[in-house]
Amino acid sequence: MVSHTSRPDRALKHSKQSRIASSNCSTGVSHRRHVGLWRRGAIYQYRVRVPADLRSRIGSTHINRSLRTASFTEAIRCVRMLAYEIEKRFDAVRDQHVFDPSEIPQRQSRAGSIKREEQRLVPPQTFSDIANQYLDDPTSSRTAKSKAIYRTTYAAFASIFETDIPAASITREMCREALGVLQTLPSNASKRWPDLTLRELAAKARAEGIPAMSPANVNEYMNKLSTLFNWAVKEEKITRNPAKGLRIADLVARRDKRKPFSTVQLRRIFNAPIYRGCRDDGAGFACAGDAKPRRARFWIPLIALWSGMRQNEICQLHTADVRKVEGILCFVVGRGEAGDKHLKTVASERLVPLHPELIRMGLPQYVDERRRAGDTRLFPELSLDGYGHYSSRFSKWFARFLLSCNAADERTCFHSFRHSFRDALREAKVEREIVLAMGGWTSPLGSGGASVADTYGKGFSTQLLFDAIANVEYPALDLTHLRL
């Protein structure tokens, strides 16, 4: 803006304006103003008059655009670029081009402009795209089995959404609808009816009264979906998590989801033919006979009862994992050097002394037999599954075994041995810190379940652990028929 005003004859003073002064006039050139710049509330706007010869063709006398900034300095920079673009549009109209007001750009940063151009050129990422990227993210560590479970879960959601839609277009209502489908799906639905879609399976289950999967399983599905969307938000692939907090009420308390075996169940288990005399420990495990084989199917339930170890921890044991530590025979639970072992948590690495009852039943002799036979694995008949676990086939066999000996019951499975062992430790009044260490329940530092003090010292002595586990007993359970 250039202005001419009469000014008195006086010396120039420093200001933000460049002035040329004489005795009669002063010329001021403003570098901080722009015609058409104004403010609506806190946000600057730019308003420009349409040239008279173009008004009839444009259909307006003025064009107004928000600069989308409350900063005067930034508004000055933006208005210059916007004024140039509008002038170019005016020239285009004069050259007989059709005027489209939407072609006049809104104010945006250069980074925003580049990002929008990239989004225009690159196809939107679908739900399957972000699911695959999430599972391949190198910052997360997952086992092959865990990845397979996640892939199955996300494939289920892709089926429920019915089309592999852009991830950014998935709404809260769509996620809520998916939750409704899951609530009526039976367990292992896709395996039982492979030719039906999940929506068709849900309709079939409702019509025929087929029991649905548990609320815990439904919530596990939704948790995995929400975890995926949280990752996508963090990676700026979508702007929000539409599944956040979606879950159904689970009326079963956490401690009741798995129960310990009752005394009646334990009696039926350890008086079954495989412990009293069976035809063989293969297909004839449930048939009474003269054979008394002592291999995986015999030892694994007993080890679980007297040590509280997890199923896969037992199944993947090496003969070298049963050895003396400080003069006491122990199970050494660890990952090993071969890389073929899996542990649930960091705290799972631990020492578990052999209970005296296992020694009386002859477990040390069995270990020596395997070593003399040249076996690296304690239970060489167990084979590895496709996910690197030795427990998968044994787990299926044990479910059949419980049915065969009439010991099956709701919310009990192999993991119930671990609950029974925990109760036995309570009855023995073993100190809680020792219990957590022996069972691998201790939370690693930083997870919210441990204090800085837990990292001090070298832990409990093997003798102290042995004294604690030796107090574990099941008074109503007679297993003397299994001793050597």
Question: Hey, is 454 helix, strand or coil?
Answer: helix
Please state, in angstroms and rounded to a whole number, the distance separating the CA atoms of residues 191 and 188.
Answer: 5
Phi first, then psi, for residue 194 (nearest 5°) are: -65, -20
Picking from 66, 416, 454, 45, the residue whose alpha carbon sits closest to that of residue 259 is 416
| pLDDT single digits (tens) 376-431 | 999 999 988 877 789 989 999 999 999 999 999 988 999 999 999 999 999 999 99
| β-bridge mates for residue 325, sequence order | 328
In the 8-state DSSP scheme, what is residue 377? B
Give the distance, in angstroms, between the CA of residue 241 and the centroid of all CA atoms in the same chain.
14
Give me the pLDDT at residue 268, please: 97
Please state, in angstroms and rounded to a whole number, the distance separating the CA atoms of residues 297 and 286.
Answer: 12
Phi first, then psi, for residue 378 (nearest 5°) are: -70, -35
Give me the pLDDT at residue 445, please: 39
Give me the pLDDT at residue 13, please: 41
Listed as ranges, residues in the chain with pLDDT below 70 are 1-33, 96-123, 251-257, 337-340, 442-458
Q: Structure tokens of 14? A: 């420093």
Give me the pLDDT at residue 422, please: 95
Give me the pLDDT at residue 235, please: 87
Give me the pLDDT at residue 231, please: 93
**DSSP secondary structure of 188-201:** THHHHSTTS-HHHH
Please state, in angstroms and rounded to a whole number, the distance separating the CA atoms of residues 194 and 399.
Answer: 24
| pLDDT single digits (tens) 235-260 | 888 889 999 999 888 766 555 568 99
Please state, in angstroms and rounded to a whole number, the distance separating the CA atoms of residues 89 and 253.
Answer: 68
β-pair type (322-325, 2-5):
unpaired
Q: Supply the Cα-derived Rg of the chain in whole angstroms.
A: 37
Give me the pLDDT at residue 121, please: 44
